[in-house]
Structure 1
Amino acid sequence: MESVRLTEYARLPRAYGRLHLLHSTVDAYGRTHWLLTEAAPGPGPADPYEALVVTADRGDVYETHLGAVRLYRPRLDALPDGGFVLAEARSKPRVHHVQVFDALGRSSWTFRVGDAIGHLLTDTSGALWVGHSDEGVYGDDPLSHPGLRRWSSTGEPLWSFSPGPGPLDMSDCLALNVHGTTAWACPYMHHPLIEVGADGSVRLRTTRVRRVSGLALEGGRVAFLDLDDVLTYGRITEHTVEPEPGAARLVRPDGRALAGRSLVCRGPRIHVRERGGTDWSVFDIGRGDR
């Protein structure tokens, strides 16, 4: 099988290397953010602590100091107004596990979006797209049961997935791509490609893929990344994704195999950070690798 090499994308400056990394992401505008603390917060309900967001934006690096963070192992994304949203993946009923900060790093809102968050991505309007794993879909928290929801940055529900006949189900939101104000999801168990507009309109296309963990889309084409780091490609039609011949294994920029990773999917790009690392690399379906 041929290989496709990732391209280096963003690197945490060495000056911050001594700090503890809580989470990192790539936002709706392509900026990279690292959420850092002096030390890892203790388990259980966290006492308020200070955190630092380091942002890399087209060669510029700047800091945002967050005050009174109350989450133990938060996920991070950025808001268009310069603020940030943090969310604890696991939560208990009635416990607020989402914390929103303004551009000055002040805590402004807290609310709940449901247990077992697998994906948290903001869009260019500032809305939050939240995809849940099967532990949330089949768990005790009704907020998680739809599997995929869109929330305002102040905690107002804007849209939720509703299952339908045939492959329109959501047992586990395996992959989520948010670009502009549109989201694409690939859920278990039938693995359809679901397109959701900002107005809540839903389009479903059947696929022949399995074990999907990420996806990238551009110009009527889609690339699916599976759990073994194998890329397969398809052509998007009115009701289906028709497979294209060939497959390729996604590898590091130096050609070596990936060793565990987390993904952020944004339009034509799949951003990759290896487990335990701070650097980001990227696959771009429109880059002409094939």
Structure 2
Amino acid sequence: MSGTAVWACPYTDFPLVEIRPARTHRPVRVWANRVRGAKAVAVHGERVAFYGGYGEEQDRLAHGELTETSVEPTDVGLLTLPDGPAPGRRRVVSRGSRIYVQAEPFTAWGVLDLSI
């Protein structure tokens, strides 16, 4: 949720969907999206980040820009911990412009914030 918007990438085609209250001018907007299997999404303005994926892409961090009809990829990388390795077992939550990742032993959260 971002302010009054909720963002999702529903299975199976994974479009990026923005849902706002029914009283707004455009309560639902949809963008075509090529990123598959993301576990979390963050949006800030026209920028978007997806974390996760299937198989070898479980640590993928994909960035994109919103156009009128689609998410255009701009960069793809792997999320790593401050000391270098991939997170391993993790918890992932997203809200608005932020993706939160908590790696085992689950004692601290790391934050990716698109608004910075």
Q: Which residue of 1 aligns with 2:65?
A: 235
CA distance in 2, matches of 1:202, 1:277: 35
Q: Distance in 2 between matches of 1:226 and 1:235?
A: 18
Query: 1:184 maps to which residue?
Result: 7
1:196 to 11, 14, 19: 19
Instruction: State the identity as a percent.
Output: 41
Match of 1:284 among 103, 109, 113: 113
For structure 1, the 5+ residue unaligned runs are 1-177
2:92 touches 2:100 (CA, 8 Å); kept in 1?
yes
CA drift at 1:230? 0.8
Q: CA deviation at 1:275?
A: 4.4
Amino acid at match of 1:232: A
CA-to-aligned-CA distance 1:185-213 (integer Å, 9 cap, x gap):
00110000000002371111111111211
**Do residues 256 (structure 1) and 98 (structure 2) align?**
no
Identify the residue that residue 86 of structure 1 maps to in structure 2.
Answer: none
Question: C-alpha distance in 2, partners of 1:188/1:254?
Answer: 33
Cα RMSD, aligned residues only: 1.6
Residue 269 of structure 1 and its aligned partner are, at CA, apart by 0.8
1: CA distance between counterparts of 2:101 and 2:94?
A: 9
Deviations 1:31-67 (A, max 9, x none): xxxxxxxxxxxxxxxxxxxxxxxxxxxxxxxxxxxxx
In 2, Cα distance between equivalents of 1:183 and 1:253: 30
* TM-score normalised by structure 1 residue count: 0.36
Aligned residues: 109
In 1: Cα distance, 2:21 partner to 2:103 partner: 31
Distance 2:115 2:63 in 1: 12
Unaligned runs of 5+ in 2: none
Shift of 1:239: 1.5
Q: Which has the larger radius of gyration?
A: 1
In structure 2, the partner of 1:220 is 46
3-state SS in 1 of match to 2:22: coil
Residue identity matched to 2:41: L
Is contact 2:19-2:29 (8 Å) kept?
A: yes
Cα drift, residue 218 of structure 1: 1.1
- What is the TM-score of this pair, normalised by structure 2? 0.84
Structure 1 moving runs of 4+ over 3 Å: none
- Whole-Å separation in 1 of the counterparts to 2:96 and 2:84: 24
Shift of 1:219: 2.2
SS of 1:188's equivalent?
coil
SS at match of 2:51: strand
Shift of residue 238, structure 1, vs aligned partner = 1.6
- Matched residue, 1:206: 32
Map Cα deviations across residues 128-147 of structure 1 (whole Å, 9 max, x no partner).
xxxxxxxxxxxxxxxxxxxx
Q: For residue 45 of structure 1, what is the aligned residue in structure 2? A: none
In structure 2, distance between residues paired with 1:278 and 1:198: 36
- Per the alignment, in what secondary structure is the counterpart of residue 72 of structure 2? strand
Q: Which has the higher strand share?
A: 1
What SS is found at the alignment partner of 2:17?
Answer: strand
